Each structure stands twice: as C-alpha cells, then as structure tokens.
Amino acid sequence: MINSNSAPNLQTSAYDQIRQDIIFCTLIPGQKISVKTMEDNLGIGRTPVREALVRLSQQGLVQTVPQSGTYVSRISLREAENARYVREHLEKSITVECCAHVDDAAKAKLTSLFAQQQEAVAKRDARAFFHLDNLLHEQLFIIADRHEIWRWIDSNNTDLERFRWLRTQVSGLEWETIMDQHKLLLDAICNRRPEEARFISGLHLHLMNAEQEIVTSAFPDYFAS
C-alpha cells in the first residue's frame, strides 16, 4: 500500500519514466499501453501509473479509446513545428544574450559539453548524443540567466523531442551536420559575435524543416495523418 508521503514521488517517477519511454520511442507511437506491464516494469503500484497516464493524457501524449484501451499518441508534426518555431525565436535572442554574459567559466562548460558530444558521435551513442545536445542548448539559457524558460520549453516540446530522436535513427542524416553548426555557434558566442550567433542559431533550428520528409518517410506509422 502506498502511503500519502510517497505517492507524489512515485507518481512523478512514473510520469518521468513513461515520458522518457515515449520520447525515445521505447513506447512506439500508436502502441497500446498495458498498465499491468508498466506496473511490473516500474516496480510500483497501479495508482501512480494511472495518475501518470492521466497527466500524460492531458498533454496529449497518450489517448484513451472507449472500449479499446489507452494508446501512445502518434507524433503531431504541427505540434513539433510549433515547438520548433518557439525555440527558434527564443534561442536566437538567447544566443545574443549569451554573447553579453559569457565568461571564462561558461566558455569552459560549453567546450566540455561539445567535447563530450564529439565522443558520443565517435562511439555512435545515440542516447548520449541526444542528451548532450539538450544539455548544450540548456546551458545557453543558463548563461543568459533564462533557465526558467528552458524548463518551460522542455516540458512542452515532446513531439519535437520525438522527432529529433527519430532523426538520430535515420541512416544518411549525419550527426556531424549538427556538430558543425554547434561548433560555429559556440565560436560566435565565445567570441561575442551576436549577429553571427543569432544567424547560426536560426539556421540550426531550421534543420527540422529540411529533414522532415526524410524522417517521416523512414517512420510513416509514427506520425499522425
């Protein structure tokens, strides 16, 4: 039996894990969800799992079909594009602010994250590459003293995150393209060239538009019609 003090933590834990499974397509878009299987996999009871699914349903990540069951929602390209649009316009301003705020400690942190991502590329470690990509972009918001905005973005861009993850799984879409743009972006920020940083940031976040057809063709059943 779950006591009242542990219940919120268990619900949050269940929510975080299920959301991660949705982002990384461990739970495939369109897949029927078994609450019992989730209970067993997470090692927790039915109540926190069901509460987590309610929260995910409110965010449109799962949907319940009457007399059928609960399913992982397919990826909405419209939602992903809207999230990309918001990030593009916010991050262009964030990179300009970074140029004004960047110091030696911030430069060292960005350099370290970039080096770690290079290692992930060399090892073809998709999860590490994806995680470090997010950490690097998050660091820009930290440098600009806008971390709260990043947390808001992170909680509202799951369809974009799923698209970005699938992008790492498509043969022919090289990770080095992202790394080349990261290198140019960090060089512009560290050398305080705001207009260049703003331009590269916008270019970087336009990758989804350029690669959308390739990704959707590779995973046609994962996307909402």
- Band of residue 6 on the pLDDT scale cut at 50, 70, 90: low
| Boundary (domain end) residue, out of 53, 72, 91 | 72
Question: Do both 25 and 102 map to the same domain?
Answer: no
* pLDDT band, very low/low/confident/very high, at 2 (cuts 50, 70, 90): very low
Task: Please identify, among 29, 57, 72, the residue that sits at the C-terminal boundary of a domain.
Answer: 72
The per-residue pLDDT for 73 is 97
Can you give the CATH number for the domain in which 26 is found? 1.10.10.10
What is the per-residue pLDDT for 7? 60
Does any domain span residue 2?
no
In a domain? residue 1: no
The pLDDT score that the predictor gives to residue 45 is 87
Question: Could you tell me the pTM of the whole model?
Answer: 0.91
Classify residue 111: in a domain, yes or no: yes
Write out the chain in H/E/C secondary structure.
CCCCCCHHHHHHHHHHHHHHHHHCCCCCCCCEECHHHHHHHHCCCHHHHHHHHHHHHHCCCEEEECCCEEEECCECHHHHHHHHHHHHHHHHHHHHHHHHHCCHHHHHHHHHHHHHHHHHHHHCCHHHHHHHHHHHHHHHHHHCCCHHHHHHHHCCCHHHHHHHHHHHCCCCCCHHHHHHHHHHHHHHHHCCCHHHHHHHHHHHCCHHHHHHHHHHHHCHHHECC
In a domain, 121, yes or no: yes
The residue segments making up the domain with residue 168 are 77-222
Instruction: Let me know whether 53 and 163 are in one domain.
Output: no
